[in-house]
C-alpha cells in the first residue's frame, strides 16, 4: 500500500470518527458532564495515553526553547481555544449552523497554506475546494437553518474555532517535519491540558460520578481514545506526509459520513439530492488531493 493511500485512509478514519463524535458527545453532555468538564477529561485522558505511548515507543526529546514555544502556540490554537470555542459555541447555536460554519475550515487552511507555507494554489485545488464547499453546504442546509441574533455569539465562536483550527494545521506542519507526530501531539496536549483546567474545574466538581451508567462511560472512553487520541495522532501523521489543504479538505466528508451514520441507525433517510451533494464533496476531496504537475514530473 502506497503512502498516498495510507494518508487518505488515515484522513477518512478521522472524518468517520468525528462524524460519530457529535451524537456520542451529546449523550454525555450536558446531562452527565458539562461541556468544559468533558473537554478537560478528553484532553487529560489523551495526555495520559500519549505520554505512555511516547515513553514505550518513541523516546524523543524536544530541542531548544524555540520549539517549546511553538508547541505552546500549537496547544493554544490546536487544543485549548479550538475545543473551548467549539463546545461553547455549540451550546449557543444550532447543530446545523455549527456544521455549516465548520466546513469553512478547509478554505482557511488553503488560505494560510498559500500565503504562509507557499503551497501552490493550482486550479484543480481551487475547483476542488469550491466543489467541497458547495456540496457540504447543500447537504447541510435544511428548513431548520437559522442564522439570527439568538445564535449570533455561538455562530461567531464556531467560526472563530474554524479559523483557529485551520491556523493550527499550518503552524504544526514545520514541527511535524522535525519530530515524530506522537512527540508533537504529546507536548501540544500537555500544554493544552494545563490551559483548559481553569475552564473545566468547576464543571468537574459538579459531576455526580456515581450516577454515570456504563453506557456513558463507554461514550467517554470513545471520546478520549477515538475522538481525541486517535484523531489527533492520525491527523498529525497525515499532515506530515501530505499538504495542509488536503488534510483540511477531509472536513468536507464529515457531513457525508454523519448522514450515512444517521441513515444506518434509522434517524435519517438517504435521498437523491443527498447522494448528489455527497458526490460533489467526494469529487472536491479527490481534486484537492491530486498532485500538482510539478510534483508529478519530479517522480
**Would you say residue 146 lies in a domain?**
yes
Residue 209 reports pLDDT greater than 90: yes
Read off the pLDDT of residues 252-275 as tens digits, 9 standing for 90 and up: 787 778 777 777 777 666 678 777
pTM for the full model? Answer: 0.80
Give the total residue count for the chain: 299
| Number of separate domains in the chain | 1
For 135, the domain range is: 3-291
Tell me the CA end-to-end span of the chain in Å, nearest whole number.
17
Contact 69, 225 (CB under 8 A): no
Would residue 296 count as lying in a domain? no
Residue 13 lies in a domain: yes
77-118 confidence digits (pLDDT tens) = 999 999 889 878 877 776 666 766 777 787 788 788 878 877
Q: Give a yes or no: residue 44 inside a domain.
A: yes
- In-domain check, residue 297: no
In a domain, 298, yes or no: no
User: Peptide bond preceding 254: is omega within 30 degrees of 0, i.e. cis?
Assistant: no
Amino acid at each position: 500500500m502506497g503512502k498516498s493511500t495510507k494518508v487518505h485512509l488515515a484522513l477518512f478514519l478521522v472524518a468517520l470518527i468525528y462524524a460519530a463524535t457529535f451524537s456520542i458527545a451529546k449523550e454525555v453532555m450536558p446531562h452527565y458532564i458539562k461541556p468544559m468538564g468533558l473537554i478537560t477529561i478528553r484532553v487529560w485522558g489523551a495526555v495520559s495515553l500519549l505520554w505512555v505511548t511516547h515513553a514505550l515507543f518513541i523516546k524523543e526529546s524536544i530541542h531548544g526553547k524555540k520549539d517549546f514555544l511553538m508547541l505552546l502556540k500549537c496547544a493554544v490554537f490546536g487544543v485549548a481555544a479550538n475545543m473551548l470555542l467549539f463546545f461553547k459555541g455549540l451550546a449557543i447555536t444550532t447543530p446545523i449552523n455549527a456544521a455549516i460554519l465548520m466546513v469553512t475550515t478547509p478554505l482557511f487552511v488553503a488560505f494560510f497554506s498559500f500565503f504562509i507555507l507557499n503551497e501552490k494554489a493550482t486550479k484543480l485545488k481551487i475547483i476542488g475546494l469550491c466543489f467541497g464547499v458547495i456540496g457540504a453546504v447543500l447537504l447541510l442546509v435544511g428548513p431548520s437553518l437559522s442564522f439570527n441574533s439568538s445564535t449570533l455569539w455561538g455562530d461567531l465562536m464556531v467560526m472563530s474555532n474554524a479559523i483557529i483550527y485551520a491556523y493550527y494545521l499550518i503552524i504544526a506542519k514545520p514541527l511535524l517535519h522535525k519530530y515524530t507526530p506522537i512527540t508533537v501531539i504529546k507536548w501540544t496536549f500537555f500544554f493544552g491540558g494545563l490551559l483548559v483546567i481553569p475552564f473545566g474545574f468547576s464543571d468537574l466538581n459538579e459531576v455526580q460520578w456515581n450516577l454515570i451508567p456504563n453506557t456513558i462511560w463507554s461514550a467517554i472512553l470513545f471520546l478520549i481514545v477515538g475522538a481525541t487520541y486517535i484523531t489527533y495522532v492520525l491527523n498529525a501523521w497525515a499532515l506530515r506526509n501530505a499538504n495542509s489543504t488536503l488534510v483540511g479538505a477531509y472536513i468536507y466528508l464529515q457531513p457525508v459520513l454523519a448522514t450515512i451514520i444517521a441513515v444506518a441507525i434509522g434517524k435519517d433517510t438517504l435521498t437523491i439530492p443527498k447522494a448528489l451533494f455527497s458526490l460533489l464533496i467526494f469529487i472536491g476531496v479527490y481534486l484537492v488531493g491530486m498532485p500538482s504537475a510539478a510534483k508529478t514530473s519530479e517522480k
